[in-house]
A = this chain, B = another copy of it.
Amino acid sequence: MQYFTDTEKFIDLREVNRAIEAAFADHGRGHVQMPPKIYITLPEGDFRTMPASLPSLSLTGVKVVNVHPGNPARGLPTVMALIIILDIATGMPVAIINATKLTDMRTGAAGAIAAKYLSPKKEIVLGLIGTGRQAEAQYRAISRELEICEIKCWSRNSLHAEKFAREIKDYTARSVPVEKACDCDVLVTTTPSREPVVMNEWVHDGTHINAIGADAPGKQELDPLLLRRGQVFVDDIAQAAHSGEINVPLKRGIFTPEEIAGTIGEVVIGMKRRERPDQITIFDSTGLAIQDLAIAAIAMRKGTVIDLPFP
């Protein structure tokens, strides 16, 4: 059994995007096993267990990942993760992967694939609502699929947004009021909000939105009117209904499962698509265990390896 760490330092983001795209395609074809992630509540956060099998890569395993918003004050990341990979023939654990940064990357890649297939424009103004680690992962991954002309960002903490914009060297980037950030071609929301932060009237026709932040029951970032107005694609129907952007509107009865336009996997394999250029499309990302397996396959070829005795 091997422990892998620092793997993310050597990973090519284009390669990650291709791996996530292929995993979504497998999901769209029904060629994966992936029960909805399971939540355990802890005093100051939670952790999620995400088992899956991805036969196209002969890969099976499970990710264990926490979410603790108070961690940065203790000098620890909010989200930390391990991936355990089992040998698909014998079930023996063969790899344990430090997956904290891989989790950021595979989520960024999901946004990039959604934007690739659903944005009607290939040269885009990118709007970022929320300017944390995932905002960075999103723009980096999207930049491998679309031409970013400009980045407009907003955070509840304007100093943080300004710092974030200053640190972006490859693109014109600036901190703007929230409604200005929403005036863009591809909008990415990565906040932990429990109330809508993006209002319907701020978003123009033809925009594609990656709704990334909502990943637990009770979280939401978008005005529910946007869901009714646009086509909503999810990564996985069961997970999105439980903990994605649509979870609160579903519980309140202002959005129904029948209104889901399809999964991103169905989009990748061509079964579902954006209907018109002037429509709004929304990708509701909750994060799939098969994304973790897909990036694990890349990670296990890189980084520092420590051999561990097993069995």
Interface residues of A (CB under 8 A from B): 3, 5-6, 33, 35, 38, 40-47, 49, 51-53, 60-62, 64, 66-68, 71, 74, 76-77, 80, 82, 84, 86, 88-93, 96, 98, 100, 304, 306, 308-311
Contact = CB atoms under 8 A, between A and B. Distances in A.
B38 A51 contact: yes
A280 to B, nearest CB: 35
Contacts of A80: 91-93, 310-311
A2 B51 CA distance: 22
A256 B98 CA distance: 45
Given A51-B47, A64-B62, A33 B38 contact: no
B86 A64 contact: yes
Nearest to A74: B90
A44 B89 contact: yes
A141 to B, nearest CB: 21
A64 B96 CA distance: 12
Contact of A66 (B40, B74, B86): B86
A90 B76 contact: yes
Given A5-B310, A92-B76, A84 B64 contact: yes
A62 B304 CA distance: 25
A77 B311 contact: yes
A304 B304 CA distance: 22
A53 to B, nearest CB: 5
A278 to B, nearest CB: 43
Nearest to A44: B89
9 contacts: A40-B53, A45-B90, A47-B51, A61-B64, A66-B92, A76-B92, A98-B309, A98-B310, A100-B311
Contacts of A88: 42-43
Contacts of A33: 40-41
A38 B44 CA distance: 25
A3 B306 CA distance: 11
Contacts of A67: 91
Contact of A49 (B51, B68, B91): B51
B47 A91 contact: yes
Contacts of A309: 5-6, 98, 304
